[in-house]
């Protein structure tokens, strides 16, 4: 497994800590999940006609409520 050092602003470090605690995971695991999401975003962006979005599920139906851009 590779290792690297990353400098985070206080704001990002605080948010990362908050997310990790809320999910009962380490900050390292939270970063791994963030990179996994970034990978999905990159794959989606590379596929014509697709975009990354936010959906709401109601009564078994999915409704698009937003599109994520700039990732």
In this predicted structure, what is the pLDDT of residue 62? 95
In angstroms, rounded to a whole number, what is the distance separating the alpha carbons of residues 9 and 59? 41
In this predicted structure, what is the pLDDT of residue 35? 94
Q: Domain span at residue 36?
A: 10-68
Q: Is residue 45 part of a domain?
A: yes
- How many structural domains is the chain composed of? 1
Helix, strand or coil for residue 7?
Answer: coil
Q: Is residue 16 part of a domain?
A: yes
Helix, strand or coil for residue 24?
Answer: coil
Q: Is residue 39 part of a domain?
A: yes
User: Block means of pLDDT (10 residues each) for the chain, length 71 residues?
Assistant: 92 97 97 94 89 92 90 76
In this predicted structure, what is the pLDDT of residue 70? 78
């Amino acid at each position: 497994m590779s290792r690297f050092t990353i400098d985070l602003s206080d704001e990002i470090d605080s948010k990362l800590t908050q997310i990790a605690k809320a999910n009962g995971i380490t900050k390292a695991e939270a970063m791994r999940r963030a990179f996994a999401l970034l990978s999905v975003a990159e794959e989606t962006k590379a596929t014509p006609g697709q975009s990354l979005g936010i959906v709401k599920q109601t009564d078994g139906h999915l409704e698009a409520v937003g599109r994520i851009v700039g990732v």
